[in-house]
Chain A
Amino acid sequence: MKTVTLPVAYVPLVDAAPLIVACEMGFAHEEGIELDLVAAPSWSSVRDMLAFGRVDAAHLLSPVPVAMALGLGGVARPLAAVSVLSVNGNVIGVGPALEARLRGIGYTFDFADAAGAAAALARVADRPLVFGVPFPFSMHVELLHYWLEASNLSRVGFEVRTVPPPLMAQALAAGDVDAFCVGEPWGSVAVEKCSGALLLPGKAIWAFAPEKVLAVRTDWAETEPHLLGKLMRAVWRAGRWLNAPERRTSVAEILSKKAYLDLPSEVIDRALTGHFTVSGQGEQRQVEGFIEFHDGVANFPWRSQAKWIAHRLATRYGLDPATARAKAGEVFRSDIYRREMSATHVDFPGASEKLEGSIRQATAVASQKGQLSLLPDAFFDGRIFDPDKV
């Protein structure tokens, strides 16, 4: 059988693991494809490579294809998010100056309580705080706004500014940003460089936030369904494999290779095991489910997730929220997911939308083959997002 090679773009991060493992552990090969993984220096570069056909698929921030569908940003090629590669996995941290002030009021860096962290920031902020994020369209931006806009900090003010994670330490030192929200390993790298302390895992704000998606051009998905199916199944099997706790050390080793993240595996391991060092003083915190690659139907692209993102974007950018939600629903392709994944005997939820934020503890829901267990997806403030009644 002739093997087809698919070029796939990614940004070297812990959550690129499903693509890297699919390549390294032979899951792509089993499907009769080879992945040509192209490491990209920036998210704009990933987006352009995908939009203009340099690659056929990409590891992409979940809000990027949604923003493109809403006409936000420079490029307007229709993209399809065919599966969710990872759920959660970001951290919010503060620079040394803010860390010192937080310690001054007795803040304990519990790395868990989002409302408490916002209240503490509001107490120590004497001017609007600037948060660095990797990209204008990212879950990082969405989580920060969701977390802070109803808090006391919004009275003092806050600003969100794009700073590539490798430059975050420099930006903190120069006073360009006071705090940051980044994907791992960049939070742990900041702690290692003593340029900050970690305040919260992203999941403390939204317990089940779709972080990265597997994205393809919509027209490519239509003309190459066969290749797309192979890619999706290879990546799904890789996610299932690497999700097992006993394999996470090996995964950290693979990711640490020079060709991928090129960082000590010990730093990468923190996100995978949820065992964090949150400050230069060596304080340890454990987070259950810090990043999820498989359990709780993590890979299913819920249309309601896309609608939540679109609703938030539309509100901030002054677009009509109802139109934006309708457009976004077409971007997360639960229909393609069902069609291409049926060959794996994987079970699917009966619905393609859910009430985001309504699951407080692991819950069994109706599925095509009986019952499936969904993981908690609550927002820190207890609000529920109904995609059809906003």
Chain B
Amino acid sequence: MTIVVVEEDRDRAIAIVDALHASGSYDVHVIGNHSSLARRIAALAPDVVLIDIDNPTRDMLEELTLASGPLERPVAMFVSGAAGGLAREAVEAGLSAYVVDGLKPERLKPVLDAAIARFQIVRQMRSELAETRRALEERKVIDRAKGLLMKARGLQEEEAYALLRKAAMDQGRRVAEVAEALVTASGLLS
């Protein structure tokens, strides 16, 4: 996992990096308040960005989240004492992981856990969605292939499917692949 820490103060940055390494094996990069911050972060494509909420360069991260979609790159933010009430609200709004007390190293672990958990939920949702889409696509292709077989060879639906499955087993391929080959071939022949 790649983590970018946006922190100008060298001592604070070192403390954070130490705390991160103590809590797990991460690829950690530290960037100061730089005018090309957004591009540097984009180039590293981190899984989590850590930044103090009072850091003025936050507006540059705003542009990053716009470019990548708000959920794709979790930004963990640290809220200093005065703005403490923001933390719960912000997390509930699904914006990012907020934690009270500024960038204190001992607070890093829970923030990271929250940010990572969020990130994984989003990733899981996305892969589930992609999987469902793929399954739907395959179902459609198999149905079309069955229809072609039923028409061409006067088969019942179950017989058509059994034929497809047999061809797949004989060739060591998936039913969907055989179906797709049949649909493509039929398209070329017609």
Contacts and interface: CB of A to CB of B under 8 A. Distances in A.
B36 A45 contact: no
B35 A48 contact: no
Q: How large is the interface on B (under 10, 10 to 19, 20 to 34, 35 or more residues)?
A: 20 to 34
Interface in B36-67: 36, 38-39, 53-63, 65-66
B89 A53 contact: yes
Nearest to A74: B70
Contact of A52 (B35, B56, B57, B93): B93
Among B33, B54, B59, B62, chain A packs the most CB atoms within 10 A around the CB of B59
B63 A73 contact: no
A44 interface: yes
Contacts of B59: 42-44, 134-136, 162, 164
A25 B61 CA distance: 37
Given A52-B90, A54-B83, A162 B58 contact: no
Given A49-B83, A174-B35, A166 B60 contact: no
A72 B62 CA distance: 11
A177 B37 CA distance: 13
A164 B90 contact: no
A161 interface: yes
A330 B2 CA distance: 42
A50 to B, nearest CB: 11
B36 to A, nearest CB: 5
A51 B55 CA distance: 19
A149 interface: no
B95 interface: yes
B63 A42 contact: no
A176 interface: yes
A328 interface: no
Contacts of B85: 52-54
B14 interface: no
A221 interface: no
Interface in A129-147: 132, 134-136
B15 interface: no
Contacts of A53: 85, 89
A267 to B, nearest CB: 19
B95 A73 contact: no
B36 A176 contact: yes
Interface in B82-99: 83, 85-86, 89-90, 93, 95-96
Interface string A208-246: 000000000000000000000000000000000000000
A179 interface: no
Interface string A162-194: 111011101100101100000000000000000
A45 B62 contact: no
Contact of B86 (A49, A167, A171, A174): A49
Contacts of A162: 38, 59-60, 62-63
A136 B55 contact: no
Contacts of A132: 35
Contacts of B70: 73-74
A53 B89 CA distance: 8
B56 A41 contact: yes
Contact of A163 (B35, B54, B61, B89): B35
B86 A42 contact: no
A291 B38 CA distance: 31
B54 A45 contact: yes
A77 B65 CA distance: 17
Contacts of A167: 33-35, 56-57
Given A73-B66, A74-B65, A74-B70, A166 B89 contact: no
A42 B56 contact: yes
A75 interface: yes
Given A54-B85, A163-B60, A42 B55 contact: yes
Interface of B: 33-36, 38-39, 53-63, 65-66, 70, 83, 85-86, 89-90, 93, 95-96
14 contacts: A41-B54, A42-B56, A43-B62, A44-B61, A45-B54, A48-B95, A52-B89, A52-B90, A73-B66, A74-B62, A74-B96, A170-B34, A174-B36, A177-B35
- In order of increasing CB-CB distance, the 8 nearest A-B pairs are A171-B35, A52-B89, A162-B63, A42-B58, A41-B56, A74-B70, A167-B35, A42-B59
